[in-house]
Amino acid sequence: MDNPQIAAVFEELAELLEFRGENPFRIRAYQNGARAIRDLDEPIREIAQDPERDLSKLSGIGKTLAEKIGVLLETGSLPQLVELRESVPEVVIAMSRIPGLGAKKAAKLHEELDLNSLDDLAAACREGKVAAIKGFGKKTESSILDGLAIAKAASERIYWANADVIVANLTEHMKNCETISQMQWAGSYRRCRETVGDLDLLAVASDRTKAMDFLESYPGRASTILRGDTKISIRVEKSFQVDMRLVEADQFGAALQYFTGSQAHNIHVRRIAKEHGLKVNEYGVFRIDDETRVAGTTEEEVYASIGLPVIAPELREDRHEFEWAANQTLPELIEPAHMRGDLHMHTSATDGHNTIREMADAAIDRGLTYIAITDHSKRVTVAGGLDEDRLLEQWKIIDEIRDEYSDRLTIYKGIECDILEAGGMDLPDEVLGQGDWVLASVHFGQKQPRDQITDRILGAIENPHVHCIAHPTGRLINRRDPYEVDMDAVMKAAKQHGKFLELNANPARLDLNDIHLAAAKRLEIPIVINTDAHRIEGLDVMRFGILQARRGGLTAADVANTLDVESFTKLRKNMGQI
C-alpha cells in the first residue's frame, strides 16, 4: 500500500468511529494521522523499513498508528476496519453526506426508522415520520428533502479555474455595492487548491443588511441557504455555495487569516498563539489573561503577533510552513512572470487547432522565448497522430521557419510520443533521435496493474531519446483516477537518468499534484510546467500550473522552463540529455 491508500484507511476509520459515538479526540487523532501520511513527500514504506527511523516519531503518528501502518504494509488490510464497516450500514454514511445531517443525526434516524436507502428517507420525510422523532422537527424534515435533491451536485468540488470564473462574475457584481468598503476572497480558492468546494467572501460594510441584500440580488443566485447577522450563504448556478462574512475593518486581517484556512493550519496557529499566552479568533489576537487585543487589522499583524512572517496562502496546509517560517526559510514561490518557455503544445497537424506559426506568434505575445511543438504520435489515431514520415516532414518545416523567428523565439522540434501498451515507444529511436525534445506519455492501457504500467514508464525514462514524462499520472480531476503508477519509482528513475517530469497546467489534469511536486523538489528533479495547448488560447492555462507549483512549494529555481534558452540548454547538457 502507498501513502494515499494508507491515509484513506485512517480517514475511513475516523469516519466510522464517529458513527459509533467515539471520543472526538480519538477520531481527530485518526484524521490527523491520515493527513500526516497523505502529506508526506516520501514513501512511508521506506521509513518503516529503515532501521534507523521510527514511524512514531512522525508528527501525528504515535505508537498505535505506527503499529497499524505496519499491519497495513504487511497484509494490505486492517481487521479493525473490516469490523467497523460491518457495524455501520452504508445508508447511514450516505445520509450523513446530506447537508445539515452529520454522523449523530444520521445514526439516530437509522435507529428510529427502519431505513435501507435514501429513497426510504425521502418517503419518511414526506410522511412526517422524521419530524416526530425527538430532536428533529418540521424544518429539519424539509431541509433533508431539499438536501436530498442537491446532495450529489452540492458535494462536487469544482476546478479552481471554474471557481475563478464565478469569483470574477461575483466580484464584478459586488463592486457596485456602495456600502462595501473592502472585500477579499478567502478559503480554498485563495489557497489555490486544485478544486474548490465553496467560496468565502469577506467584506467590510457600513450597512450589513444592504450588503447581504446586494449579494442576494446577484443574477446567478439560485437560493439562499441561511442568513444571519454576520454571515449569509447562497447557492449560485443551481448548487455551488457562496458564503459572505461581514466583519469590522479592524478585524479584517484576523478574519482573512481565519477564513483562508486551512483548518489544520489555523489549529496550528492557535496552538502557537497559546504558547505565547494569546488567543486567536476571527476577530483578532487577544491576550489570554486580560483579553487585551494585540492584532487583527492585517494578516501581517496576526502572524507577527506569534512571531512569524506572513505565509503564502498556497502553503497553508500545516505541512512544512511553520518550520520554514520559524527558520526564515519560506520559499520565494514561482510567479507567472518567471516563465520563459512552454514545452508541450499541439498543432493542426494532429488534434490542435492552430498552425506552428500561429502557436509561435501567440507564444511571443505571451512573453515566451522558446517553445516545443509536440504533436501526438501515430498510436493516437483519434487525434491523427504523426507517423515517422509526417513527423519528419513537420520537423523539416520547423527547420525552415526557425531563422525568421530566431531573434524572438526558439522553436524546438518535439513530439509527444506514446508509450505503447506492451511497453516501448510508438516511434523508432532513429527518428526520435533527430528531434530536440521528446515527451513520453501514456494514453492507452491506463488501467493496467501497477507493476505493468510502472514498468512501461520506467522503460520510457531509460530510453536515451526521451527527455521528459508528460502528465505522469494521467488523472482527470473528478473524472478519471490516476494510473496505478508507482510514482516513487518513477521519480527515482527520472533522477537517475536525468529526465524532466512535467507539471501539466491544464486545470483538469494538474499532474503532478502538490505532494508529488514537493517530493520532486526534495529529490532535486527539475520540473517543467507545460500548457499542453491545443489552440492559441490553451497557452493561457499556464497560470493554473504555476498555482499548483506554488502549492508544492516550488521556486523559479525548481522549474526548468523559467530559465532562458542558454541556461536551459546548459542544464540539459549537465543532465546528459544533449
Partner DNA sequence: GCCGTTTTCGGCCCGACTGTTTTCAGTCG
Of the residues 39, 40, 41, 105, which one makes contact with DNA according to CB under 7 A = 105
Q: Does 514 bind DNA (CB under 7 A)?
A: no
Task: Using the rule CB under 7 A, give the single segment among 86-94, 222-230, 302-310, 360-368 that binds DNA.
Answer: 222-230
User: Which is closer to DNA, CB of 274 or CB of 573?
Assistant: 274
Closest by CA position to 467, among listed 389, 560, 553? 560
Q: What's the min distance (Å) between Cβ of 568 and DNA?
A: 42
Q: Does 66 bind DNA (CB under 7 A)?
A: yes
Q: Does 241 bind DNA (CB under 7 A)?
A: yes
User: Which is closer to DNA, CB of 28 or CB of 175?
Assistant: 28
**Residue position matching grid coordinates 520532486:** 520
| DSSP code of residue 63 | H
Q: Which residues contact 533 (CB under 8 A, 6 or more apart)?
A: 342, 344, 345, 346, 352, 359, 539, 541
The DSSP string of 86-138 is: HHS-HHHHHHHTSTT--HHHHHHHHHHS---SHHHHHHHHHTTTTTTSTT--H
User: Which is closer to DNA, CB of 99 or CB of 423?
Assistant: 99
User: Which is closer to DNA, CB of 110 or CB of 475?
Assistant: 110
Q: Does 322 bind DNA (CB under 7 A)?
A: no
- What values do phi and psi take at 437, rounded to 5? -150, 110
Q: Does 289 bind DNA (CB under 7 A)?
A: no
Report whether 439 contacts 415 (CB < 8 A). yes
Beta bridge partners of 159: 195
Q: What's the min distance (Å) between Cβ of 534 and DNA?
A: 35
Q: Does 200 bind DNA (CB under 7 A)?
A: yes
Of the residues 274, 447, 450, 570, which one makes contact with DNA according to CB under 7 A = 274
Edge-to-edge strand ranges of the sheet holding 293-295 = 278-281, 284-287, 293-295
Report whether 342 contacts 368 (CB < 8 A). yes
User: Which is closer to DNA, CB of 323 or CB of 404?
Assistant: 323
> What type of residue is 529?
I
Nine cell digits for residue 25: 479526540
Q: Does 236 bind DNA (CB under 7 A)?
A: no
Which class for 314: exposed (0-12), middle (13-18), buried (19 or more C-beta within 10 A)? buried
Closest by CA position to 536, among listed 419, 366, 369? 366
Q: What's the min distance (Å) between Cβ of 232 and DNA?
A: 8
User: Which is closer to DNA, CB of 278 or CB of 427?
Assistant: 278
Contact code string over 116-155 relative to DNA, x by CB under 7 A = ---------------x--xxxxxxxx-x------------
Q: Does 157 bind DNA (CB under 7 A)?
A: no
Q: What's the min distance (Å) between Cβ of 201 and DNA?
A: 12
User: Which is closer to DNA, CB of 149 or CB of 337?
Assistant: 149
- The footprint of DNA (CB under 7 A) covers 23, 25-26, 28-30, 32-33, 56, 58-66, 96, 99-106, 131, 134-141, 143, 187, 197-198, 200, 226-231, 241, 259, 261, 263, 266-267, 270-271, 273-274, 279-283
